[in-house]
Amino acid sequence: MTPEKPDRSLFGWYREADRKTRRVFWTCGAGWVMDAADAQVYQYLIPLLITSLGITLTEAGSIASASYFAAAVGGWLGGWLCDRFGRARILQITILWFSVFSFLSGFAETYEQMLVIRVLHGIGFGAEWAVGAVLLGEMINPRHRGKALGAVQAGAPIGSGIAALLAGPVAASFDPDLGWRVAFWIGLAPALLIFFIRRGSDDAEVYKLARAQQRAENRTVSLGAIFGPGMIGVTMLASMLSLGVQGAAYSVANYLTSFMTAERGLTQGVAGYLVLINSIGGFFGCITNSYISDLAGRRTVFRIFGFGFLVMASIYLFGPWGGNLWFLVPIGMIYGFFQFGMYASFGPYFTELFPTEMRGSGQAFAYNSGRAGAALFILGVPLVAQFMPLSAAMATLGIVGIICALIPTLILPETAGRALSAVGEQNKAGNRP
């Protein structure tokens, strides 16, 4: 009997997946959409929060920064817990956690209350992506890991669009002091996703085998194992890659509306719609990245999208077309294609870099430490802008970020298609950088 040939069509990887893997894919994807929306909606609501809570722009920014730093700690802790107690169980907890604290954000009355609530929200927000990516990454066929996790990452621009709608038309439908609260209250909706996750039974066999081996050897993996001999190099280089990509993206994306109003002469409303349109290009960027990643390799796709980001950001920022939307809309979509698309290979690459026993903590720490460190890029743009135009400051920090991201791709190993392994197997294979 002739063996059945693999389905190489565009969505062949999905058709090859079993029912459980498909359910986990959709659950993780929906979780990441709402996770991204929950995080972005705060940024979009800042003007309303300043007026309603009587806080300053600096205080509003400090809340956002504190939330990102909390995400780094929460991600590391959540990743370690999922290594110890199971991916599916901790994913349920993280989804419920960030949903509840998003909901509670709508009841804040003072700066101090909002600060505490958003820090607690950040703990769950930081853990959700990494735990979900590990869960799905361990289940999917290695040949399709990039496509599956890239498709999940494509939920980020969708979440950004949802956040823009919540902070815009939805919030505007109510009294100004109530509208932002409603936007946060809707953030409770993702909690329903916990009913689509089956605790324990949804964990992949590779994880179950690794845990059984640990118990048989009466061995545990500590929270600091990712900094141990043989792993600290991987951890630091993966964190540097994450820092570079996110630092570059934040340096440009966080100031686009300010750039559009100050240097392109557009209104705040039109600038906001342009940023939303960029997210459309971002969706296709994530999907494209995911297919290239499986074909050409993780390191190659980071280089391609990093270079594309620099080129398109430069054209977007310095092109001689002023506020002409006939140019800004299509160019903005292509810019968004590369800006969001850069993220799509984090999931598969970090899943493959770390051994099973510490995959959750390693992946979560690398991704979220990069996100927390990227706050320095955000703070750096206005400082550099004191000596040059805002657009030049954005581009300068973007270049620094991409250089920071490209260096690890010259040192870390290529992992596309790699079968996931435990600590001992990985060491024997010589997979250290």
**pLDDT tens-digit profile of 178-219?**
988 998 998 888 787 777 666 556 777 887 887 778 778 777
Q: Which of 153, 175, 415, 429 is nearest to 282 (CA)?
A: 153
Q: Is the pTM of this model over 0.75?
A: yes
- Confidence bin at 335 (pLDDT 50/70/90): very high
**Residue 104: inside a domain:** yes
In a domain, 218, yes or no: no
Residue 1 lies in a domain: no
Number of independent structural domains in the chain: 1
* Cα 159-303-430 angle, rounded to 5 deg: 105
Give tens-digit pLDDT for 14-60: 788 888 888 888 888 888 888 788 777 887 787 788 888 888 877 87
Region of poorest pLDDT, from 65-79, 226-240, 241-255, 292-306: 65-79
Domain span at 304:
21-211+226-430
Both tokens of 422, joined, read 């435990």
Q: How far apart are CA 343 and CA 353, in angstroms?
A: 16
Task: Let me know if residue 286 belongs to a domain.
Answer: yes
Answer whether residue 253 is part of any domain. yes
Residue 11 resides in a domain: no
CB 243 within 8 A of CB 404: yes
Residue 303 domain flag: yes
Q: Please report where in the chains the tokens 């990643």 appear, as a residue.
A: 293
Q: Is 10 exposed, middle or buried (0-12, 13-18, 19+ CB in 10 A)?
A: exposed
CATH of the domain at 103: 1.20.1250.20
Any domain includes 235? yes
